[in-house]
Amino acid sequence: MQGAQARYCGVVLLIVSTRLAGGQIPGAPVLQNAFVSPGAVVAADFVGGSGGSVYAGAASWAPASGRVQLSVGAGTRSHLASNSFVYGLRAAVPFSGSSSSVGFGMLAGIGGGPNQGGFPLDSLASTTVIPVGVAIGWRRGFGNRGISVYATPSYVFFSGGTNNSGVVRGAIGLDVAVAKALGLTAGFEFGQTRTPREGGPTGTLFGFGVSYAIARR
């Protein structure tokens, strides 16, 4: 990949950490790319699946060194007739060069919000979500556009509800740059489940996001 393509594609890849997870927001897929581009990005997300739907906003920032990326997100989670506030934050560390087409990284995050398993919210404790995982990604630039495909296997620990335990999950995502600073993301998550009363995932989660790079170094 040419250097210009790699730098541009980095803008696309900065998008992925800001939306669909933002932290980790409960009820959203754990999606994280292996590449980090210095600067700041904001995003709007929609997530759906067996745990209801999530509408959220998110932002991420990485220093000029690109050695770490910090992401934060917050929004509303809906299930049946109830709505609640959810939030999350995450740190990701890449282990790939600025011009690499294949990359590897690590992530850890935390998020929270009321348990929404179809039961009265005041009868269950809030759920805390703590994902820890790795990111494996591939990217390619195409003139003024770029694309990235990535996988994020993770262990997600849940505290709250009726049981504290963890599950092994996997996620696959796709980022596409449609303009110089505008990107689209789609992804889904699958793997082990928890019962609705326990507050964890009960099936496949999917999400879509739109991101805009407001500052780049």
CA distance 148 to 15: 10
Consecutive H or E run containing 166: strand 165-177
Cβ neighbors of 122 (< 8 A, separation 6 or more) are none
pLDDT of residue 116: 57
pLDDT of residue 150: 94
Q: Domain count of the chain?
A: 1
Q: How many whole angstroms from its chain centre is CA 47?
A: 10
- How many beta carbons lie within 10 A of that of residue 159, not counting itself? 17
Q: Any idea what the CATH number is for the domain that residue 168 is in?
A: 2.40.128
- How many beta carbons lie within 10 A of that of residue 3, not counting itself? 10
Question: What range defines the domain where residue 212 resides?
Answer: 3-216
- Reading the chain (217 residues) residue by residue, the pLDDT tens digits are 444 444 545 444 444 444 455 667 888 889 898 887 788 888 899 988 876 789 999 998 889 888 898 999 999 988 766 788 999 999 999 987 767 889 999 999 999 887 655 444 444 456 788 999 999 999 887 776 788 899 999 999 988 766 788 999 999 999 888 887 888 899 999 999 887 667 677 789 999 999 888 866 5
pLDDT of residue 202: 76
CA distance 95 to 67: 8
